[in-house]
């Protein structure tokens, strides 16, 4: 086994064991001499030889990984679609309904004008678009990108070229597992890839899982630039809307907790021009404390500096994190336990999610093309 991150919590060792792209939590005794009063320690152990790591890679089943990823993606989109419909139907009591109105307008336009690219339909995704590579090239010309040594990039399809330019430029790529469901973050460097593996192969979700090195919450990480996917952005304020699941905010919050980023860390998004709204279209007074603004917007034709004054999140806001979301993300459970044991105080929990059963809720947002293409690759 190539990598075993260990989180020592009191008298228990929490092992995040890595199996071909999955991180699974396991508890074992820390030994009879474990002192529960000692300050919490978090350490990352790298076990196994290069031969065992190569064996893990040989045993990694890309087809099975992608099949499972697509299945889970479809479930997540159905869940979010039901939330969107419910919030719009109960608009007077749902403060986030206005966000879904903007998202749907953008998704509809991109499909109607054939700006959208696979995977389609783009509804309830960070939408892939014609010209994504041009937007990535424009992003790569930013002096901040060129000077960066470590770049965090979201795992969505429209930012695949950004991941490629990061790796091929000799930089360290930090990328999360999709929806944080199988682990945390992985780091990749082109120099660490097997010589027979093209860089572009490592830029997919499966490639990052196969060739990436999982990191622990204690990793001595310094992220120089963040690239984030968006559904819509306001050029006058830097306000941004994602696809509505909140993972970009959670990823940012965890990086803030680790000390890997701060207020000065540039946040950049790459989008199509139609995703850039009219000035003032996103009411900043309605944004939530954990919403992440962007400093720079790169489209296929423009580079926009927003000069945002929207405060960036300071970490994870546990009081707005629902128990349902926490239950789905193992690394957040580990982090919450770490903080509670270190401080001796129980962290707050957010309100429970209210969701109608997706089996009986019909969504009209699935588009004319049906579900995701099974051969589409991130």
Listing DSSP states for 215-254 in one string gives --TT------EEEE--SEE-TTT--EE-SSS-HHHHHHHH
Closest by CA position to 323, among listed 342, 345, 347:
347
Q: What is the pLDDT along the chain (378 residues), one digit of tens a residue?
A: 333 333 333 333 333 333 333 333 333 333 333 333 333 333 333 334 566 666 667 677 778 877 777 787 777 777 777 777 777 666 555 667 889 999 999 999 999 999 999 999 999 999 999 999 999 999 999 999 999 999 999 999 999 999 999 999 999 999 987 656 556 788 999 999 999 999 999 999 888 888 998 888 888 899 999 999 999 999 999 999 999 888 899 999 999 998 999 999 999 999 999 999 999 999 999 999 999 999 999 999 999 999 999 999 999 999 999 898 888 888 888 889 989 999 999 999 998 876 544 333 333 443 443 444 433 334
The model's pTM is 0.78
Give the containing element (helix H, strand E) for 168: helix 160-168
Rounded to 5°, the CA angle 88-90-93 comes to 115
User: Using CA of residue 74, residue 78, residue 80, residue 81, what is the dihedral sign?
Assistant: positive
Closest by CA position to 159, among listed 268, 266, 3:
268
Q: How far apart are CA 295 and CA 315, in angstroms?
A: 18
Closest by CA position to 191, among listed 217, 206, 213, 221:
213
Burial class (CB in 10 A: 0-12, 13-18, 19+), 209: buried
Q: How far is CA 209 from CA 280, 321, 344, in A?
A: 39, 26, 35
Q: How far is CA 197 from CA 14, 226, 322, in A?
A: 33, 26, 40
Residue 29, φ and ψ in degrees, nearest 5: -70, 145
What number of CA atoms fall less than 13 Å from residue 24's CA on the CB side? 6
Q: How far apart are CA 176 and CA 56, in angstroms?
A: 19
């Amino acid at each position: 086994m190539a990598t075993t991150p260990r989180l020592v919590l009191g008298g228990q060792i929490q092992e995040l064991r890595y199996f071909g792209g999955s991180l699974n939590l396991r508890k074992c005794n820390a030994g009879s001499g474990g002192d529960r009063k000692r300050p919490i320690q978090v350490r990352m152990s790298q076990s196994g030889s290069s031969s065992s790591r190569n064996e893990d890679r040989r045993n990694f089943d890309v087809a099975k990984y992608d099949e499972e990823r697509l299945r889970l993606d479809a479930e997540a989109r159905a869940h979010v679609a039901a939330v969107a419909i419910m919030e719009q139907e109960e608009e007077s009591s749902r403060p986030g309904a206005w966000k879904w109105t903007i998202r749907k307008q953008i998704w509809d336009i991109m499909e109607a004008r054939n700006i959208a690219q696979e995977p389609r339909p783009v509804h309830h995704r960070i939408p892939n678009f014609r010209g994504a590579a041009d937007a990535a090239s424009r992003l790569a010309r930013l002096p901040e990108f060129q000077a960066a040594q470590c770049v965090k990039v979201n795992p969505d399809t429209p930012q695949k070229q950004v991941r490629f330019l990061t790796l091929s430029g000799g930089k360290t790529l930090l990328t999360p597992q999709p929806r944080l469901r199988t682990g945390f973050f992985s780091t990749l460097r082109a120099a660490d890839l097997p010589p027979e593996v093209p860089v572009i192969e490592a830029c997919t979700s499966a490639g990052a899982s196969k060739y990436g090195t999982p990191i622990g919450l204690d990793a001595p990480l310094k992220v120089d630039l963040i690239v984030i996917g968006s559904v819509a952005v306001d050029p006058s304020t830097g306000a941004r809307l994602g696809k509505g699941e909140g993972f970009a905010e959670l990823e940012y919050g965890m990086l803030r907790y680790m000390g890997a980023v701060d207020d000065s860390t540039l946040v950049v998004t790459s989008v199509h021009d139609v995703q850039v709204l009219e000035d003032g279209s996103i009411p900043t007074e309605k944004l939530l404390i954990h919403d992440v603004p962007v400093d720079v917007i790169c489209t296929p034709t423009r580079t926009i500096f927003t000069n945002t004054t929207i405060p960036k999140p300071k970490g994870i806001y546990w009081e707005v994190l629902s128990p349902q979301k926490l239950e789905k993300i193992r690394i957040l459970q580990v982090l919450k336990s770490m903080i509670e044991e270190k401080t001796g105080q129980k962290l707050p929990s957010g309100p429970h999610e209210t969701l109608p059963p997706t089996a009986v809720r019909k969504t009209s947002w699935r588009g004319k093309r049906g579900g995701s293409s099974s051969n589409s690759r991130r």
